Amino acid sequence: MEQKNNQIETLRAAAIGFVLLSHFPVAGPWFAEASRYVELWSGVDLFFVISGFLITASLTRLRAARADRALWLPELKAFWIRRAFRLLPAAWLWLLIPLLLSLGLGDQPLFAPFGTLLNDALAAALQVANLYWAHCIGSGQWGQLCSQPPIVGPYWSLSLEEQFYLVLPLLMIVLPARRLLALVVLAIVAHALWDRPIFSLAWYVRPDSLLWGVLLALLGQRIARSGLPARLAAVPGRSLLSILLLAALAWLPVNGAEFLAGVSTVAVVALVSALLVWLAACGAGIEPGAFLLWMGSRSYALYLVHYPLYALAQLLLFPTAGSSGPELALYALCTLGMIGLAAEATYRLVEMPLRNYGRGLSMQVSRRSAAQPV
């Protein structure tokens, strides 16, 4: 069984909290005022660092077997089986549900027509949604080729992660550890100097947050031997630094360009996210509470369900929800309740059963490999 780090689960909760607030569809005056000071798209980069770190750490057996094809090939298959059953069933379900809803609601301005939503869903199912949205927005076809509102738009980040899951294990097989480490560092430095305007191709294809996670995992044992993680975990008030770094993640997207001459804001967001993950991995992050652990464990399901349910709730329950007052509060309460219930159902009925099934299949593949005579 996987040993979970509860402080990293808390970071997942913070990341999905950023996403839920960032995509909240009814923006009141308070929201417009707040957006002068903070933006929350950085929650996705925090997710990326977490994924890069955990996935690289999970590939230790593959790295150890890289010299023998008879050993690494089954490990590679086992990894991809785990990833497929972990991610794809729930993702495909929440592509299908909006498509079915659009058959009856597609002519409503708060939803999306079936044809454009089908384009979006196909790109997401084929794991190229990041390239698709970059092309669609860059060519001025938002609302024509792709849907507006972007009901399944958040799938762009899932596509980038899936592309990463295909490439990283292959690099770990092909490259010795030192060369892999050098490549990761070089890529991070190069991306720090690359300007990436929001919604550009470079914005949608940004691996540096994922690579920071890889770097943390590759250096993990060396850092642990230094004794630094143990010293950090013993510092009183250690959670305060992570709270300040989360505040910086919200502040940087709006204000970073003024202070980061020549350095990409996205790159600094990735660095701050990496510091948060490193502190959590050392046991020096934010102490978890029950609700944060629930959010963290359901963060993938929350990510999948939130945008379609934001649109559906506004369309069916609060089509004229104002920007302030009790109706807005009721809309937020009902919508977040729907999202929580849908995420819980997805987690219990789809995500966990199929994740466990995939884990069992991958273990069978690994056992067959171990049982083969040398």
Please choose, from the candidates 240, 286, 339, the residue with its C-alpha nearest in 3D space to the C-alpha of residue 19. Answer: 339
What pLDDT, in 10s, does the model give residues 71-97? 788 889 999 999 999 999 999 999 999
Q: Give the number of C-alpha atoms closer than 13 A to the C-alpha of residue 11, restricted to the C-beta side.
A: 34
Please compute Rg for the chain using Cα positions.
21
Q: Which two tokens stand for residue 243?
A: 């709270």
Tell me the sheet residues that pair with 146: 142
What pLDDT, in 10s, does the model give residues 346-372? 999 999 999 999 999 999 987 765 555
What pLDDT, in 10s, does the model give residues 296-330? 999 999 999 999 999 888 888 777 665 567 777 88
Residue 142 DSSP SS3:
strand
| Higher-confidence position of 284 and 106 | 284
**Residue 1 covered by a domain:** no
**Residue 355 covered by a domain:** yes
Cα separation, 188 vs 205, in Å, equals 13
Residue 82 is inside which H or E element, if any?
helix 69-105
Question: Hey, what amino acid is at 75?
Answer: E
**Residue 234 covered by a domain:** yes
Range of weakest confidence among 24-28, 43-47, 88-92: 24-28
Asked if 20 and 302 touch (Cβ cutoff 8 Å), the reply is yes
Q: Is the pLDDT of residue 1 over 50?
A: no
Burial class (CB in 10 A: 0-12, 13-18, 19+), 263: middle
Asked if 3 and 278 touch (Cβ cutoff 8 Å), the reply is no
Provide the domain count of the chain.
1
**Residue 278 covered by a domain:** yes
- Compute how many other C-beta atoms are within 10 angstroms of the C-beta atom of residue 54: 19
**Residue 269 covered by a domain:** yes
Q: Which domain range does residue 318 map to?
A: 6-367
Cα separation, 86 vs 344, in Å, equals 16
**Residue 372 covered by a domain:** no
**Residue 289 covered by a domain:** yes
Cα separation, 197 vs 199, in Å, equals 6
- For the CA atoms of 293, 298, 304, 305, the dihedral, rounded to the nearest 10 degrees, stands at -100
Residue 146 DSSP SS3:
strand
Q: Which residues contact 232 (CB under 8 A, 6 or more apart)?
A: 238, 279, 282, 283, 284
Asked if 57 and 353 touch (Cβ cutoff 8 Å), the reply is no
**Residue 339 covered by a domain:** yes
Q: Is the pLDDT of residue 147 over 50?
A: yes
Pairs from 234-240 (Cβ < 8 Å, separation ≥ 24): 235/284, 238/279, 238/284, 238/285, 239/285, 239/286, 239/287
Asked if 276 and 293 touch (Cβ cutoff 8 Å), the reply is no
CA distances to 20, 86, 111, 198 from 25, in Å: 10, 29, 12, 19
Q: For residue 65, what pLDDT is reported?
A: 76
Cα separation, 46 vs 252, in Å, equals 13
